Amino acid sequence: MVTADDSAPRRNASSSLRRALGILMYLAEDRSHPHGATLSDLATGLEMSKSTVLRLVAPLRDVRLVDQDPESGRYRLGPHNALLGQAYLERRDTRRITAPALHRLAEESGETVHLVSFDPPEIVYIDKVESPRAVRMHSRIGGRLPAYCTATGKVFLAHARQDVVDTVMAAGMPARTPTTITTPDKLLAELDRIRERGYAVDDVENEQDIRCVAAPVHDHTGAVTTAVSISGPAARVTRERLPELGTLLMSATRTITADLGGAAREPAQD
């Protein structure tokens, strides 16, 4: 039981911890001081006194979460932040983290939702939430499809280096349906549209009577390593529904990106 006598020290400790963490976040996010922040920079940016900053930064220096340049006196993130970051990345479970958003997306759209990775020239299904409706997709986790004719594949290609795109196109682009994009020029033009719009569409290009929408998930480096799609019968996933589903999907992938500690960046062009 916390008494009136010991609650104040606990509140003070909690406040100090939050402010110390604020120093770490300031050093991580500050772009105006690429060579490190001075004591004055930290005090001004965090609206603290210099004495408070010195008190809070001392234990961070002790555990190498913050380093101080011996010549300039500037503060920067220390090497143990890399240890924490690597431990986080190694131990996260992408499927577990993304599952709540995928289930919400399936419920809101009424269609099948896939989480997909990229293994050029193919995409790989790594998770799936079935549509609550009677007619469902026949896809399976671990299944592979060509990237050039799938919505998720085109998402990856729209954010990939040109040499990756060239490799996928060189692997062949045979028609899988009457509407499959089969020429490099048309595919490259489609990738431009995807970058402008923010999501990709498989307009019955991979499987007859199936239409699909997909959007990217960004990892901690800003790269697109997974994508999410909404798929269903063309009679339900009509062209008129595509903007609505695209907006719904991009909202979900932004949430997933944040949950994974990711950040979007501009698509690679070279």
CATH number at residue 83: 1.10.10.10
- The pLDDT tens digits for 118-153 are 999 999 999 999 988 866 667 888 889 999 999 999
Question: Using 50, 70 and 90 to split pLDDT, how confident is the model at 220?
Answer: confident
The model's pLDDT over 58-112, given as tens digits with 9 standing for 90+, comes to: 999 999 999 999 999 999 999 888 777 766 555 567 888 899 999 999 999 999 9
Question: Is residue 27 in a domain?
Answer: yes
**Sign (positive or negative) of CA dihedral 257, 260, 263, 268:** negative
**The 122-129 sheet, strands edge to edge:** 144-146, 122-129, 112-119, 224-233, 210-218, 200-203
Same domain, 27 and 96: no
Which tens digit of pLDDT belongs to each residue from 12-64? 668 888 999 999 999 988 778 888 999 999 999 999 999 999 999 999 999 99
Report the CATH number at residue 241: 3.30.450.40
| Close Cβ partners of 11 (under 8 Å, ≥ 6 residues apart) | none
Place of tokens 């199936």: 210
Q: Are residues 164 and 202 in the same domain?
A: yes
Yes or no: say if 268 and 159 are a contact pair by the CB < 8 Å rule. yes
Question: Does residue 266 sit within a domain?
Answer: no
Instruction: Share the mean pLDDT of the chain.
Output: 89
The domain in which residue 192 lies consists of: 92-259
Domain co-membership, 121 together with 212: yes
Question: In terms of domains, do 138 and 172 share one?
Answer: yes
10 Å Cβ neighbour count for 232? 25
Boundary residue ending a domain (58, 88, 118): 88
Q: What is the percentage of the chain residues whose pLDDT exceeds 90?
A: 71
**Residues 134 and 65 grouped into a single domain:** no
Same domain, 16 and 49: yes
User: Tokens 């499809």 label which residue?
Assistant: 145
Is the residue at 144 inside a domain? Answer: yes
Q: In this structure, are 65 and 151 located in the same domain?
A: no
Beta bridge partners of 127: 115
Domain co-membership, 30 together with 119: no
Do 33 and 65 belong together in one domain? yes
3-state secondary structure of 119: strand
Same domain, residue pair 136 and 250: yes
Number of domains in the chain: 2
Q: Which residues of 112-146 are buried (b: 16+ CB within 10 A; e: fewer)?
A: bbbbbbbeebbbbbbbbbebeeeeebebeeeeebb
Residues 80 and 117 in one domain: no
- Of 102, 97, 121, 104, nearest in space to 219 by CA: 97
